[in-house]
Structure 1
């Protein structure tokens, strides 16, 4: 494959060339002057992440592509401004820390932690309008666009919501960085990671036993070498969100002093959803011009030619760590679709990371009207992902999960064997159902077993 330099890659790309492509899943703003004023303000604000953080993540993901690290990506389906508080943010981090520690210890491999946070405020919709009792209003597209309340005023897209999204993302990133710098993830103090509502969970007990084993091993090592083991109090978190709202993403995509190319400085790891991954898509056009590592969702709809064209468009130099294929099929469909896409990528010599999203392909509606997912189907899809990759001479590089540290009842099954009647107890998601802490940790222990199988 011919290698292109940065100048050649961007010869036919510009910061607003996406506007000449097919634009999908975007809000219609009634006041263009108001929109442009908000974008001008947003473009002048400091970046949310840095170029060197982005490049460091890309180097880690290159190791994931070689099987030297494992990617754990997780967080809310859709963040809300109301959830920007210390408890919810820290609980989300606790889940990711605990899951990653289970995998590090069980799989004996370093883990890259990428959170669906600090920007996951936009959501795709199946229709531009929502109709209730004969009244049609613009669909709720996330807190970055409008409000969920079904009134005409609430549903009108408001450009100032982008500025609110930026400020809530900045506050989230600031708090995360402060926690990490303050020793929040110190292995010697696992009590920092405890989540109050699951003190008596069997999974929590299982995790604490694991931590005790690790602490004993560390103490033994320190006795042997006669000094403290360093670098046990800090971990790295990287921020990710679906790069859905293109005006917002463009405003935070910039050049950086002493660096070549453009960086999307709204997140370390932006991704493209299944509904916007077409070759003529404005979303593909915008992200093909950035230096960030990027993800793209693929599924049963993805044919072989489209996969090749997509990879070569988004990663023209076939750079290791640049492109993550996040496959979402559902437990029932993965065996019929994943093997052919693996073989297609291998035949085309594409350097990609394979990451399993076992959430979206397993969504269903219950008899009592709730959108949910069954834990058994989620776990089964992850297990089949490992097996299929191994059988085809490939390897699964990570998982992409929708989860929370809150005491929600949104997914069926798992440690508490949640039933349909339980969903109404704590169903709080704005859009899609999430794994709660117990289910997420149970899945981490299962992933450890699948990895060894």
Structure 2
């Protein structure tokens, strides 16, 4: 990875962040080409605008202060070939969930899509079962099992920027939805940094790649480049919190990433699994609350509940629902605010998650419409059913 920041805006702090250990980065075969792509991205228009980012910061402050709820969701991994109709279907599903939640709870809902930038994926291995370089998202290489296409190609970062811009145009036409993705590919993210226009004594930067960025479970090392870069951003930031996270580590994320005590600056996204959320969350929650920060607590009930069925990676609706229910129970018991959910979903009639209420998917259905390039997603019907269950439990 190149260690120089965008040629338009020089800041030694960015360079110091980027020379730290950086997990999950591709091995680019041509560093000179990476540098050339970074220069072009440094001159490109950002995907997210400063005023939009500032508005999301204000809305997440309402969540952190118990006055709103977050519905966040979208593709596990966006595709360069996604159609406008598919994008619109995801947006309709998110807005439908928000309408259900607001209608049944009376609380305003901040709607955030995993959209217009969710093109990079962390992986557990560098090679796949065929011995090819693993697929790391369309921003890096191809999903098709082709040796040439799996070679990391930095030009795909330019394609990702173009596709994100086009998708963001659709999002803006719909309105009321912010764009988010995992802050993973640091060559891309650092090239799209733009100066912060807020009234800060210590300069920060807008991440121009999206409104809300999160640090994933595999890149959340406290001494790593992802956390160091996130410290410099004016955008609201999320951190995924898995079962191995200690309460002390969670508190350190809060102190590092919310040094100014800004309500809603940081979102902690718990992904603990339905069988463990009730045991693990209380100590994490109490330790973080003791710091005095007002963070957004969000439940990701997807990643801790994945299994293999007949060779397919699936998730079960009832286990997804149970993790959210456990999340709500812990917050209600401790008097804290369950701020939202973070889901992998699609508006399409897919068969990647088993179960559901009105149109259940069983094991025999899985292969009928399994279209995800990485992880199983709730289909549109399942997502709306889950929103209704969450809303009923919030007001119970």
TM tier, smaller: over 0.9
Is contact 1:414–1:442 with CA below 8 Å preserved after alignment?
yes
Residue 17 of structure 2 corresponds to residue 18 of structure 1: yes
The separation in 1 between residues aligned to 2:241 and 2:113, in whole angstroms, is 20
2:90 to 74, 89, 92: 92
3-state secondary structure, aligned to 1:325: strand
Residue 363 of structure 2 corresponds to residue 420 of structure 1: yes
The separation in 2 between residues aligned to 1:295 and 1:13, in whole angstroms, is 24
The residue correspondences of 1:69-88 to structure 2 (distance < 5 A) are: 69-83=68-82, 85-88=83-86
Once the two structures are superposed, what CA deviation does each residue of 1:185-217 show, in whole Å capped at 9, x if it has no partner?
A: xxxxxxxxxxxxxxxxxxxxxxxxxxxxxxxxx
The separation in 2 between residues aligned to 1:398 and 1:347, in whole angstroms, is 21
Residue 195 of structure 2 corresponds to residue 255 of structure 1: yes
Residue 391 of structure 2 corresponds to residue 451 of structure 1: no
**Gap change, CA 1:258 and 1:316, over 3 Å in 2:** closer
Once the two structures are superposed, what CA deviation does each residue of 1:93-142 show, in whole Å capped at 9, x if it has no partner?
A: 1101111011111000111000000000000000112242xxx3221100
The residue correspondences of 1:183-222 to structure 2 (distance < 5 A) are: none
Once the two structures are superposed, what CA deviation does each residue of 1:239-259 show, in whole Å capped at 9, x if it has no partner?
A: 000000011000111114576
**Gap change, CA 1:32 and 1:13, over 3 Å in 2:** closer
Is contact 2:196–2:234 with CA below 8 Å preserved after alignment?
no
Is contact 1:16–1:250 with CA below 8 Å preserved after alignment?
no
3-state secondary structure, aligned to 1:275: coil
Once the two structures are superposed, what CA deviation does each residue of 1:278-328 show, in whole Å capped at 9, x if it has no partner?
A: 101111111111000010000211012211111111111121110000001
Match for residue 6 of structure 2? none
Counting helix residues as a fraction of each chain, which structure ranks higher? 1
The separation in 2 between residues aligned to 1:16 and 1:267, in whole angstroms, is 21
The separation in 1 between residues aligned to 2:271 and 2:12, in whole angstroms, is 29
Match for residue 237 of structure 2? 294
Match for residue 123 of structure 1? 121
The residue correspondences of 1:22-171 to structure 2 (distance < 5 A) are: 22-83=21-82, 85-132=83-130, 136-171=131-166
1:272 to 196, 215, 239: 215
Q: How far did residue 67 of structure 1 move?
A: 1.1
Residue 365 of structure 2 corresponds to residue 442 of structure 1: no
3-state secondary structure, aligned to 1:361: coil
1:319 to 262, 266, 282: 262
**Gap change, CA 1:145 and 1:269, over 3 Å in 2:** same
**Gap change, CA 1:369 and 1:41, over 3 Å in 2:** same
3-state secondary structure, aligned to 1:130: coil
Is contact 2:262–2:293 with CA below 8 Å preserved after alignment?
no
Q: How far did residue 348 of structure 1 move?
A: 2.4
Is contact 1:16–1:286 with CA below 8 Å preserved after alignment?
no
Is contact 2:247–2:285 with CA below 8 Å preserved after alignment?
no
- Matched residue count: 382
The separation in 2 between residues aligned to 1:445 and 1:256, in whole angstroms, is 39
Match for residue 347 of structure 2? 405
Q: Mark the runs of 5 or more structure 1 residues left unpaired by the alignment.
A: 1-11, 181-235
Is contact 1:123–1:244 with CA below 8 Å preserved after alignment?
yes
The separation in 1 between residues aligned to 2:168 and 2:18, in whole angstroms, is 30
Match for residue 329 of structure 2? 387
Match for residue 251 of structure 2? 308
**Gap change, CA 1:103 and 1:81, over 3 Å in 2:** same
Q: Mark the runs of 5 or more structure 2 residues left unpaired by the alignment.
A: 1-10
Match for residue 8 of structure 2? none
Match for residue 7 of structure 1? none
Match for residue 186 of structure 2? 246
**Gap change, CA 1:29 and 1:327, over 3 Å in 2:** same
TM-score (norm 1): 0.82
The separation in 1 between residues aligned to 2:244 and 2:180, in whole angstroms, is 24
Q: Which has the larger displacement, 27-36 or 251-260?
A: 251-260
| Superposition RMSD in Å | 1.3
TM-score (norm 2): 0.94
Structure of larger gyration radius = 1
Q: Which runs of 4+ in 1 moved over 3 A?
A: 256-260
